[in-house]
Structures are given as structure tokens and as C-alpha cells.
Amino acid sequence: MKDLSVKVAGVTFPNPVIAASGTYGFGEDYAPLYPLNKLGGISCKGTTMNEKPGNIPPRIAETTAGMLNAVGLQNPGVEVFVNKYLPELKKQGNVIIANVAGATLEDYRNIAERLDSTDVDMIELNISCPNVKQGGATWGTSCEGASTVTKAVRAATKKPIMVKLTPNVTNVVEIAKAVEAEGADCLSLINTLLGMRIDIRTKRPILHNNVGGFSGPAIFPVAVRMVWQVANAVDIDVVGMGGISTAEDAIEMMMAGAKAVQMGTAIFTDPYSPLKVIDGIEKYMIENNIENLSEITGSVKPW
Ligand SMILES: Cc1cc2nc3c(=O)[nH]c(=O)nc-3n(C[C@H](O)[C@H](O)[C@H](O)COP(=O)(O)O)c2cc1C
């Protein structure tokens, strides 16, 4: 038995495989399948201040080696998360990351304040949401927007903050540095890429929202590239995600510079895939005489 534990922003995860936000709900559909504490941690469904019903269907479209979604942050609101789901999750002994989404700066600040006095281990900031007061521009696509949210949340909570970066930018490194400067404790990336599919018989976009987030194995190389660029540019910890479905993918992502990984879309195809990835990482450690996963993180040897 190898020690697979990793420390991210001072929080110890029993292994480096975390369920990605929006793909695991609050664990309720998976708890009947296996003890949730087999995972390294769970990033919960994006939580807004009040309940959100989400977008009109169709909200999901298949793509080659991936999927598009425009679920629209359907969630029960922060109070239901704190009072109903969080106690259940903590009972199972998991490291719990609350994923926070906001339409305004006040939303982010208020949710962070509410979470500060709870048992959540970490707050992940989804900055891929539209800023309603700025004509719907995504917070995380400008240094100013990304750092404004990070600064406000930093002032509202002592919990470790993980800022989740969007890949829909020209220069992900400058955004990473901007949020690091405002007190982010660690970074996670990548969120979904913006995509679109059209039904050629009806000429209608397949998603009612017209466009949606692209995820799954097809985006893996983009994610590895961005994690590598960001991990080389910041001093804080980086958690990598985007298309990971095998232990080899997870190890590759760690070699690019990630201390831990998140898995999302792969869980839809196989709910047991995170457990298989954890086993595969341990096997790789045994075969390669690795005692600690820090030996893998950032070990890529660029040409
Ligand atoms: C159906 C669905 C819902 C998602 N909801 C959220 C969310 O609420 N908050 C968030 O930060 N990311 C959300 N994501 C993005 C994922 O957490 C992840 O960043 C992305 O899917 C890339 O990883 P993957 O290819 O392993 O799925 C969602 C993704 C999917 C597919």
C-alpha cells in the first residue's frame, strides 16, 4: 500500500483524485455505489445564493470524445447545501470543496461569508459565470474581473480559496498571476471550453442555450498545456482537470505540474472511473518505485 496523499493549499487529500464540480452533484447518486471517502475529495455542484432551476432542455449534446452542456448552474442554493448536503458529505469523512458561482460581486462575497462558518474544507471559485452588471462578460476572461472576484472573496473568508480558471482566454497565465496576487491559495483548471453543435435537419443548435461548455477526453491536450503553462508561472498549488479518464491521463496531468486532479465527464461514462484511476496511480507508483506523488508533480522534462 502506497501513501497517495497530497497537500493542496495546506489541505490534505487522502489521494489526488477529486470529483469535478457539476458532474457529481453532492455525491447523492454515487453514495449507493461505493463509500464516497474512497475519493480524494469532492468538488460539489456550483452553488448560488438562491435556488436556480437551470436552463431549458436540451442541455446536453454529445460530441466526438466529449460532450457539450448548458445545464445553467441548476442547484438548490447555499442554505440547502449547508444544511442538507454538507452534513451528509462530512459524515462520510470526505474532503469537501464548495464550488461558488455568482452573477454579481455581492453574490460571491455573500456566499463566501456564509460558507466561512461551515465545515467546508475549501472554496472553489467558478469565475466562468457572466457578470450581469458588466453586460454578461465572463468574470474570468479578464485580469480585472478575475482579480476583483478573488479580492472580494479573500476579504470574506479565511477558508482556502481555489480559483477555477476558464480556458476561454488568450493568455491563461496572466489571469493566473492576477488571482494569485489577490490572495488565491491555489488554482484549478480548466473549466469547459465554449462550444456549439447544430442539428443539420432542423438547422437548430442542439442546445437550447445555443452554446455550451465542451468537456471530456477531447479537451485533454488543451488542459495539459494550460496546466503546464500556469504551474510554471505561479508559486501556488495547481489542480488539473479537463478530459481525464485514465490513470495515465492523471499522471500526465501531474507531470505537467498538477498536485491533484479532478475528473468530471469520465464519471458519466463510468461512475467507478475515479476509483480505477486511484488504483492505477498506485500501480504506477509501485512499478516506478515512487514513494510520494510530489516526485511526479512537475516532473515533465521539456525539450
Ligand atoms: C454537466 C456539467 C456541469 C458542470 N458544472 C460545473 C459547475 O457547476 N461549476 C464548475 O466550476 N464547473 C462545472 N463543470 C465543469 C467541470 O467541473 C470541469 O471543469 C470540466 O467539465 C472539465 O473536466 P472534464 O473534462 O473532466 O469533465 C461542469 C461540467 C459538466 C460536464
CA of 215 to the centre of ligand 1 (A): 7
Contact 145, 155 (CB under 8 A): no
Asked whether residue 281 is domain-assigned, the answer is yes
Output the pLDDT for position 196.
Answer: 97
**Would you say residue 27 has pLDDT above 90?**
yes
Asked whether residue 136 is domain-assigned, the answer is yes
- Compute CA 45 distance to the chain's CA centroid, rounded to the nearest angstrom: 10
Model pLDDT for residues 119-153, shown as the tens digit of each residue? 999 999 999 998 888 888 899 999 999 999 999 99
Model pLDDT for residues 44-82, shown as the tens digit of each residue? 999 999 999 999 999 999 999 999 999 999 999 999 999
Active site includes 129?
A: yes
Q: Whose CA is nearest to atom 10 of ligand 1?
A: 21
Asked whether residue 300 is domain-assigned, the answer is no
Asked whether residue 61 is domain-assigned, the answer is yes
pTM value is 0.98
CATH code of the domain covering residue 263: 3.20.20.70
- Judge residue 78's burial from the number of C-beta atoms within 10 Å of its C-beta, 0-12 exposed, 13-18 middle, 19 or more buried: buried
What is the full DSSP assignment across 139-169?
Answer: GGGSHHHHHHHHHHHHHH--S-EEEE--S-S
Measured distance CA(66)–CA(45) in Å, rounded = 20
Asked whether residue 124 is domain-assigned, the answer is yes
Residues in contact with ligand 1 by the CB-under-6-Å rule are: 20-23, 45-46, 69, 71, 73, 99, 126, 164, 191-192, 213, 215-216, 219, 241-244, 263-266
Asked whether residue 302 is domain-assigned, the answer is no
Asked whether residue 1 is domain-assigned, the answer is no
- What is the total count of domains within the chain? 1
Asked whether residue 76 is domain-assigned, the answer is yes
Output the pLDDT for position 100.
Answer: 98
Q: Could you tell me the sign of the dihedral formed by the alpha carbons of 53, 55, 61, 67, in that order? A: negative
Which domain range does residue 127 map to?
6-295
